[in-house]
Structure 1
């Protein structure tokens, strides 16, 4: 029996019928069922009957050039950079868990809809789940993106796990001035699931990477249906749901734009921008990738033990996620003042999803300002955390920088907005 055969697999009282798939181990059989899900079965414990040989053409990745897309001078060139995550993952049949193990070439095989849209340059920077991401990988990724743009690509697509995508997108937005789109995408559900969002997100990301834009973007499902992806500015986006396909939202405004998947599938213009954005070629390629990792993000909670703050004395930077307009318990103000006097840059953000901090309304806020805490306007806490790393390493006055908008992370004023 070979990959692509239709088989009947019996193990005890359980029977599966489907297509035999390539397996990463000799101990398991992998069978794709009619509903689209894959199952793993212990090879020694199973009785297998081949119902039809070569019923399905399955690429094993062993064929020479199996994922090569021939160069077409009429097509744009897109760098496809893999860092891991669910969009580039499969199921580990030993544990039943989703594992990041595909490289960029595998993604091209897994998403044949990408063929014919662009010429691709595949590159692997990391092969990790996004919870294992760190500032060092951000810097490696930024350097890889710069190299690809310098080599002449028309756009970059970064495949990334969704859980920490907003951090990495923010990091590249601060590090990189780009003349072409840099588009982050991922998937909430792995490719072996019928409800996977990997194909649509990847196709829409490539469409965005060839559009008239020069921003760091996040491209993910706009709704629960497979019809449109939203394009979010990398410094204003947040993952707001653990598992929905439309988990990502631009906070405090509408997205920068969207990609119509139906139009993209028909080969029609698919990308639309709703507001001001940097256009292709407006800025020169520049990379400033230094980061100061001695920064902490602290969420204030009622009754918080003051020693939690005291243990942070001596760090170079601190982002506080305060209450409402940007407050903490009054008893913590003196400690914050001492930290500022000791050289720590402290910026205040809010735990509220919408709105901006304003420490001029109540006494506690005014005391915080007097202590030297700076307002981060309506910058998201996660974005402010990354921003302070960058500002400490690259700005003469990082405290002042936290009150400025460097990469679209803070708006000039907060206005009511409804989707």
Structure 2
């Protein structure tokens, strides 16, 4: 028997049927079940029947140093650059070592998601291979440079594969750093490829379809519902991950998603206007001021919590309601502003907008020099403040302006 054979393994009165996978130990068999999960079985006292030879092409099973494959270029198809930063969607198991890795090229992606074949010509590129909680502004800058280079080299669209936990931060940061004439689409996966409920195939396919659409901005493409019917397209600066594990974890805050991709019909549609393909000249402004902190105010919180921010260039506060903190915070905030720190106020409520002109506390905060960030999401405001501090002569004023759709002019019922 060899990896790729369909086998039936019996041990201890339990039978498992599936595809034999390479094993990292001599004492165990690894069988991929029809539902997608792998099961490890102790070889001792196990009986194995081979049901079908070479029933499955096992990715990574036979690859060796010097092996190569090519993808024939089709002049009639657009070219999409697939860029990986790590995360579940870009991870595959190397069964020779048992390790999970995101070191892939275009051939690896097509082997893992064969549904992508025939939709575009692909180029694969790895910018980082990290868990998304380890994402940093330095990687944002590397990613911006990579996307710029891919578009400059002729890519008709870019798909960024990213871990979902911090994808909203990266996508919003790239919105400020890049002016793009083609779609830049972030996508990820809530559930790994070996799970029957994995969302990686549909998200990847829909992201590629969006990357070839007539749009030119940074988008985020993920399941629009718990079903496999359509992916939602979110503006990168207005989206938030609002569930830990659901496939439709991402939501546009304060509005409906700006568009969607129907999976079966491969139809991309937009419900709101936006920059069209080719309308914007490619440019990059990658500088960031990384000395920026996001602080969440809680009742009774000691204003001394701000003491470590004396040297910060910027602070984003998640205040209560319309954008408030306790009265005993105000003097400390004023000291920060007078020391040169830009302090922007957002709300923990997410829906609605900051307005510090209603109550005395809000008016005192404005007198202390706090900048209202309107309905900008706290995570987006953090990335924005990093960018405007490095690229705008009047960063405080810029925090009150909508630069790339992060701040809606009005809070109205969803449209």
TM-score of the two chains, using structure 2 as the length reference: 0.94
Alpha-carbon distance in structure 1 between the residues aligned to 2:11 and 2:213: 51
Identify the range of structure 1 (32-41 vs 358-367) with the bigger mean alpha-carbon deviation: 32-41
Q: CA contact under 8 A between 2:29 and 2:40: conserved in structure 1?
A: yes
Written as runs of structure 1 = structure 2, the 5 A alignment for 1:23-42 is 23=23, 28-41=28-41
Q: Which residue of 1 aligns with 2:20?
A: 20
Q: What is aligned with 1:110?
A: 112
The offset of 1:47, in angstroms, is: 2.9
Once residues 25 and 397 of structure 1 are traced to their aligned partners in structure 2, the CA distance between those partners, rounded to angstroms, is: 61
Q: Tell me if structure 2 keeps the 8 A contact 1:100–1:129.
A: no
Preserved CA contact (<8 Å) 1:333 1:368:
yes
| Alpha-carbon contact 1:157-1:209 (below 8 Å) kept | yes
Relative distance call for 1:400 and 1:89 in structure 2 (3 A) is same
Alpha-carbon spacing, 1:300–1:4, altered in 2? closer, same or farther (3 Å): same
> Which residue number in structure 2 is paired with residue 77 of structure 1?
79
Deviation by residue 1:160-195 (Cα, 9 ceiling, x = unmatched): 011100000011100000000000001111000111
Matches for 1:152-191 after TM superposition, within 5 Å = 152-191=154-193
- The correspondence of residues 20-419 of structure 1 with structure 2, limited to 5 A, is 20-23=20-23, 28-41=28-41, 45=44, 47-61=46-60, 62=63, 64-66=67-69, 68-90=70-92, 99-105=100-106, 106-264=108-266, 270-417=267-414
- Contact between 2:19 and 2:56, CA under 8 Å: does it hold in 1? no
Q: Is the 8 A contact 1:22 1:60 kept in 2?
A: no
Alpha-carbon displacement from aligned partner over 1:294-329 (angstroms, at most 9, x marks no partner): 000000000112221122222111000000000000
Q: What are the superposed Cα offsets for residues 302-357 of structure 1, whole Å, 9 maximum, x if unpaired?
A: 01122211222221110000000000000000000000000000000000020110
Calculate the aligned-residue CA RMSD, in Å.
Answer: 2.2
1:93 and 1:112 mapped to 2: Cα distance?
A: 19
In 1: Cα distance, 2:95 partner to 2:68 partner: 27
What is the TM-score of this pair, normalised by structure 1? 0.93
Unaligned runs of 5+ in 2: none
- Structure 2 Cα separation of the partners of residues 25 and 288 of structure 1: 49
SS at match of 1:311: helix
Instruction: Give 1:91 deviation, angstroms.
Output: 6.1
Distance 2:124 2:105 in 1: 5
Where 1:208 maps in the other structure, the secondary structure is helix
Report if the CA contact (8 A) 1:316-1:344 is conserved. Answer: yes
Contact kept? 2:288, 2:386, Cα under 8 Å: yes
In structure 2, distance between residues paired with 1:378 and 1:308: 25
Q: How many aligned positions are there?
A: 410
Shift of 1:389: 0.6
Q: Look up the match of 1:267.
A: none
Does structure 2 conserve the Cα–Cα contact (< 8 Å) formed by 1:182 and 1:216? Answer: yes
3-state secondary structure, aligned to 1:148:
helix
- Residue by residue over 1:56-113, the C-alpha shift from the partner in whole angstroms, topping out at 9 and shown as x without a partner, is 12143427445x431100000000111111112246999x9x9554524432211000
Q: Are the aligned partners of 2:376 and 2:406 in contact in 1 as well (CA < 8 Å)?
A: yes
SS of alignment partner, residue 122 of structure 2: strand
- Secondary structure at the residue paired with 1:86? coil
Distance in 2 between residues matched to 1:253 and 1:317, nearest whole Å: 28
- C-alpha deviation, 1:234, in angstroms: 0.5
1:57/1:181 CA distance change after superposition, 3 Å: same
Distance 2:8 2:191 in 1: 27
Residue 117 and residue 27 in structure 1: after superposition, are their counterparts in 2 closer, same or farther (change >3 A)? farther
